[in-house]
Amino acid sequence: MTANRRHLVDRLPQVRGAYRVQAPLGDATWFRVGGSAEVLFKPADAADLCTFLAGRPADVPVTVLGATSNLLIRDGGIPGVVIRLGRPFAGIEIRGAELRAGAAALDGSVAQAACDAAIRGFEFLAGIPGTIGGALRMNAGAYGAETSQLLVSAQAVSPDGTLHTLKAAEMGFSYRRCGVPTDWIFVSARLCGEPGDPAEIAARIAAIKTERQSTQPVRSRTGGSTFTNPPGAKAWELIERAGCRGMRIGGAVVSEQHCNFLINEGGASAADIERLGEEVRRRVQEVTGVTLEWEIRRIGIAANQEVKP
């Protein structure tokens, strides 16, 4: 930690939530790799988050973590403040065919809550291992549906600590992206489905879970789909054509079951996983002429990399 950051936590505003210095993050990620947060902040509620953002020093970087299911934290950790939205942001409320979910609510929990309330349209979320905040940020989708089709409005906090309500049309959704600035933090969403038959909804959720377990390495240390599908193509097919199935670097390997997944077989570093992904990109480009784009979010600094003031 450099000299001007030695007492970072003492420069931060008073909050009702909790600060933790040099908090390990690797075990919280699905890959089970990565360094520590210089300071980890868990806000008590949305108002507490607004207070923090309004009062933080302008030179302090902020990073937001969700379920970490589609994330690679580099081995040197994350400088500045890492924000993790916890239980106060995980509530789910239902009114008619509309559902309000906190940004930390798990996608699978939202799908099950909708099923219990006989609301259809949310089933695809059962196949996405993330949170509603991440679903908003990435316009998460699977099995022919995506988040943008359900959204009524979302609440997000801008870097100055202002809470905004955004209608679906203001989100700027596209494939696996939204147009809301990346430094805005989603805190909740209003989503709407349609009345449905609970038995049919439950059967669809069960089928999605079964298909996911049979086609993806869900019990492995992985980060989900590594690369987005290029227009008119499937990433896994391009990776297969490039001969990358089963390729490895250190403890990191391209999944034999689904080659758009990278796996930590044990002992891999974040650097191993990232290097493997870049080698896959290189080979796919060489063989097919297509440049794959990372879907996994890669954050933090490499091991032994100096944090610049």
Residues 187, 46: contact at Cβ < 8 Å?
yes
Domain identity same for 146 and 108:
yes
Amino acid at 140: A
Task: Name residue, tokens 């086609």.
Answer: 215
Domain identity same for 8 and 105:
no
Average pLDDT estimate for 136-148: 92
Q: In sequence order, what are the residues at sequence separation of 6 or more whose Cβ sits closer than 8 angstroms to the Cβ of residue 62?
A: 53, 56, 80, 81, 82, 83, 159, 183
CA distance linking residue 183 with residue 186, whole number of Å: 10
Residue 5 pLDDT > 70, yes or no? Answer: no
Query: Which CATH number is 182's domain given?
Result: 3.30.465.10
Q: How confident is the model at residue 306 (pLDDT cuts 50, 70, 90)?
A: low
3-state secondary structure of 287: helix
Query: Which CATH number is 25's domain given?
Result: 3.30.43.10
Q: Residue 114 sits in which domain range?
A: 91-201
Average pLDDT estimate for 158-163: 97
Give the per-residue pLDDT at 3. Answer: 43
Domain identity same for 96 and 57:
no
Q: Count how many residues are written for the chain.
A: 309
Number of domains observed in the structure of the chain: 3
Domain identity same for 97 and 42:
no
Q: Identify the residue with better confidence: 201 or 67.
A: 201
Catalytic residues: 176, 225, 295
For 180-221, how does the pLDDT look when each residue is reduced to its tens digit (9 = 90+)?
A: 999 999 999 999 999 999 999 999 999 999 988 877 877 778
Average pLDDT estimate for 152-164: 97
3-state secondary structure of 138: helix
Answer yes or no: is 34 within a domain: yes
pTM of structure: 0.86
Q: What is the mean pLDDT of the chain?
A: 92
Could you tell me how far CA 140 lies from the centroid of its own chain? 9
| pLDDT over 90 percentage in the chain | 82
Average pLDDT estimate for 108-114: 96
Residues 24, 73, 14, 47: is their CA dihedral positive or negative? negative
